[in-house]
Chain A
Amino acid sequence: MATATGHDSRRSFQRVNEIIETHGRDPVHLISILQEVQNEYRYLPQEILNYIATAMNISPSRVFGVATFYENFSLEPKGKYVIRICDGTACHVKNSTGLLNMLTRKLGLKEGQRTTGDLLFTLETVSCLGACGLAPVMVINEEVHGKVTPEKAEQIIDEIIKKERSQND
C-alpha cells in the first residue's frame, strides 16, 4: 500500500537508505529496491534515482534505464487513488473502453493526462489482471471491483470523493 508522505520526507534519503540496506547493494536487487521506494513515495523522484545509483555504485543511466523500462514504475507523482482499468482481451470485449472513456470524462482528464491536478486520482490501463471471469475489471489501489458498469464505477468514484471531502473538512 502506498503511504501518504509529505513534501519534506520526499527529500529525505533516510528511508531510501534503509530500503537499500535491507536488500543489499548488489545490483541484482535494483528492481526490488525501486519497487519498495515507489511504494514509499508513490513514484520515483529523479533525485532519488541518482541517489540509488551512487549508493549502489552503478551508473545513473542503468537505474534510469530499468525505471523507464517497466510499466509499473512511474517517474511522475501518482494520485492517492490509482484506478487501473483492465484492458485485457476479456475486458476489452466486455467494453472496458467505454468505462475508460467515462472515467476520463468524469475525472476531467485531458488527452495524455493520467493524474488529476489535485493528485487524488491516477487513471491508467493494465493489460490483464487475470480476473477475466469478472470482466470488465477495475482496480483501485489493491481493491478489485468486478463486472463494473460505467454507473457502478461512477458511484465508487463519487464515494471516494465524498470520503476525501469529509476528511478534509
Chain B
Amino acid sequence: MIKSVEELKRLKEEYSKALAREKMKILVCAGTGCVSGGSLKVYEAIKKLLEEKNIYVDIDLYTHGKEGVNVSPSGCHGFCEMGPIVRIEPQGYFYVRVKEEDAREIVEKTVERGEVVERLLYKSPETGEVFMTEESIPFYGKQSRIVLEHCGKINPENIKEYIAVGGYQALVRALQMTSEEICQVILKAKLRGRGGAGFPAGVKWDSVRKQKADVKYVICNGDEGDPGAFMDRSIMEGDPHRVIEGMIIAGYASGATEGYIYVRAEYPLAVRRLKIAIEQAREFGLLGRNILGSGFDFDIKINKGAGAFVCGEGSALIASIEGNRGMPRTRPPRTVEKGLFGKPTVLNNVETFANVPMIILKGADWYLSIGTENSPGTKAFALTGNIVNTGLIEVPMGTTLREIIYEIGGGIPNGKELKAVQIGGPSGGCLTKEHLDLPLDFDSLDSVGAMIGSGGMVVIDQDACMVEVARFFMDFTQRESCGKCVPCREGTRRMLELLEKITRGEGTEADIELLEELAITVKDGSLCGLGETAPNPVLTTLKYFRDEYLAHVRDKRCPAGVCQALKRYVIDPALCRGCSKCARVCPAGAISGEVKKPFIINADKCIKCGACVDACPFKAVKEGK
C-alpha cells in the first residue's frame, strides 16, 4: 500500500533498477490475435528453457540481485497478420510467426550467443528484404506510437513494470494540481473524444466539475462494437493501467469518486487484464480511499456488456449499467448533468482516457505539436480488409490515406486496385481514390460525409460490389436498432429492403430515389447516434458509386460480379468435355447437352446457385458479370 507521492517515486526508482537487471527481455505477444496462434505456448516453452538454464529473472525476483534474462507476455504489437510475435530487448529483434518449436533456437542462439535467428525475422513479401528490428519495418516506419507506446513493450499483468516505465507519474502530477487546472490543461490540449464524435473531453470534464452533486461518476466506454475495429481492445489488453490512470485523473478533475468500465462481452481477455490491473492498483493504494495520501477517493468497477451495439451510445450504455435494456434517451439533460443514476457523469472512451496521462506529464503544448490544428494528437486505426499488412496502427492526425494504405499497409494484395476505404464502420462512410491525399482528422472526414468513428478502416478492392457493402452495413444497423424511435426502427428496415431488392436485380430508379429520401429522414429524425449515422454508408456509396447502383437497376448487372442473383453462368465450349457432371448436379434442370459435346445453360431456368461451377472438373463453367 503506497501512502504518499514520495513513496511512489521511491518505488519507481526501485522497479526501474530491478528492470535494469534484465540484461535481455523476451516479449511474447499475448494479444487476442497471437494467443489464438499459440503464443502462450511459445512463452511457456521459453520460460521453461530459461529456468532450466538458471538465467531467468523478473521484476518480482529483483531482491535476489542477480542479472539475467526475462521472458514476459506483452500487449498487442498491432501486426497481427504476422503473429505470434516475439520481440527481443534491447536489440529490438522482431521475430514473426514464431512456433513453440522455435523456442530452443531463440534461447540458444539469441539469448546465449547474442545472435539473431534469421529465419524468424520479418521478410517483405514484395522485395524479400529482411528486417532485423521492429522499428525498421515499413509497417511501423510512418507510425507514431504514443498511446500504444507500452503495448508490446511491458507485461500488462504486472503493475510494477508500468510503474517502472513511468506509470502513475501523471497521477502524481495531477494530484499536485487543482481540479480546475487539470481541466484547463485538457481543454488547452484540445483532446477530442476518440469514440467517434470528437467532442472536446475538457469541456465534459469541466462541466461535471462545475456541477453540484453528492456523487459523480466517470465511465470508460469500452463497448467497441463497430465491426472491424479493435483499437480499444488492444489498449485494454496491452496497457490497462494507462486507462485506469486516465480515469483516476478524470475523477480527480471532475470531482467524481466512482468509475465504471463498460467492456463488450466479446472481449474476455480485456476483461481479465482489467480485473487484474484494478486489483493491483487497489493493493498499491492507487485506487480506493485516500489515494497517495491526497485525501481523494476513487474506485473502479467493471461492467460486462451483453451484446448490444447500441450500448456504445452514451445514454444507452448508462441504461445498461443501471441494469436496464440498453436504450438511449432524449437529451437534454446531457450526461454531464444527469448521467449514471441521474448524477453528473464524465463519459469518454478507452483511447481518450489513454491519452490523458501523457498530456498531464508532457503538457498541452507538446500535445498540440502533434497532429492537426483542431485535431491534435494521434489516432489508432484498425487496418483490415483487402490490404497486405493487416493490423493496428497509430498515426498522427492529418496523415493521409495514401500514407496509411500504401506505406504502412503495404498496398492492396494480388496487384488489385483500391476501390474504397470504409472508415468508421457502420456509422461511417466510404472514401475513394480521390480522397487518397486527404489529411485524416475529425473535421476533414466530416466534410466528405464520413467519420473517424472509433477508427475501423476496412480496405476494399476492385472485386467488391459497393451496393452489397452498403447492404451489409444496413443489415447490421437494422438488426442493432434498439427499436425505441420510429425513424431508426422502421427506416433502417425499409432501407435494407430496398437495398436487398436492388441487389436481387428487382430494383428501379425510383427505388434509388426513395432510398436516398429515406436515408435523409432517418439521419435527421433518429433519437441517437446509431440512427443518425446509420445511413452514412448508403449516402456515401450513392455519392461516389452511383453508377454501380444504376447498373443494378437499369442493366440488371452487378459490375463486380458479386450479387448472386445477378450472376450469369456460361459454359466455355472450348473447355467443356461434355461429361454431364454439371447437368446432374443442377437442381433446376437448367443444363442440357449431349455427352462428349459442350453443354449449355438455360439462363431462364438457372437459379444461380453455383453448383455447376463446383462440379465441373475442367473449370469450364464461368461466372459472367
Residue of B nearest to A29 (CB): B323
Q: Which of B16-40 contact A (CB under 8 A)?
A: 32-33, 35-37
- Flag if A93 contacts B33 (CB, 8 Å): no
- Flag if B307 contacts A72 (CB, 8 Å): yes
Q: Which one of B381-389, B572-580, B585-593 is at the interface? A: B381-389
Interface string of A108-152 (1 = CB under 8 A from B): 000000000000000000111111111101000011111000000
- Flag if B425 contacts A133 (CB, 8 Å): no
Q: Which of B230-246 contact A (CB under 8 A)?
A: 230, 233
- Flag if B456 contacts A127 (CB, 8 Å): no
Q: Can you list 16 residue pairs at the A/B interface with Cβ under 8 Å?
A: A28-B322, A31-B323, A35-B306, A70-B307, A71-B307, A73-B306, A89-B228, A89-B385, A89-B456, A90-B458, A93-B458, A93-B460, A128-B225, A128-B226, A132-B229, A146-B36
A88–B69 Cα distance when bound, in Å, is 40
A65–B324 Cα distance when bound, in Å, is 8
* Closest chain B CB from A75 CB (angstroms): 13
- Flag if B33 contacts A134 (CB, 8 Å): yes
Query: Quick check: is B284 within 8 A (CB to CB) of the other chain?
Result: no
A130 — which chain B residues lie within 8 A by C-beta? 32, 224, 229-230, 233, 264, 266-267
Query: Quick check: is A32 within 8 A (CB to CB) of the other chain?
Result: yes
**Among A65, A127, A143, which residue has the most Cβ atoms of chain B within 10 A?**
A127
Residue of A nearest to B308 (CB): A70
B36 — which chain A residues lie within 8 A by C-beta? 131, 134, 137, 143-146
- Flag if A66 contacts B324 (CB, 8 Å): yes
A132 — which chain B residues lie within 8 A by C-beta? 80, 228-230, 382, 384, 390, 456
A135–B228 Cα distance when bound, in Å, is 10
Interface string of B208-234 (1 = CB under 8 A from A): 000000000000000011111110010
- Flag if B227 contacts A89 (CB, 8 Å): yes
Q: Which of A41-96 contact B (CB under 8 A)?
A: 62, 65-66, 69-73, 87-90, 92-93
A66 — which chain B residues lie within 8 A by C-beta? 323-325
Query: Quick check: is B265 within 8 A (CB to CB) of the other chain?
Result: yes
A163–B35 Cα distance when bound, in Å, is 23
**Among A26, A31, A70, A133, which residue has the most Cβ atoms of chain B within 10 A?**
A133
A28–B342 Cα distance when bound, in Å, is 13
Contact among B224, B306, B464, B480 for A31, CB-based, below 8 A: B306
* Closest chain B CB from A11 CB (angstroms): 25
Query: Quick check: is A37 within 8 A (CB to CB) of the other chain?
Result: no
Contact among B228, B304, B385, B460 for A128, CB-based, below 8 A: B228
* Closest chain A CB from B345 CB (angstroms): 15
- Flag if B80 contacts A142 (CB, 8 Å): no
B305 — which chain A residues lie within 8 A by C-beta? 70
- Flag if B227 contacts A128 (CB, 8 Å): yes
Residue of A nearest to B483 (CB): A69
- Flag if B476 contacts A127 (CB, 8 Å): yes
* Closest chain A CB from B148 CB (angstroms): 14
Residue of B nearest to A135 (CB): B384
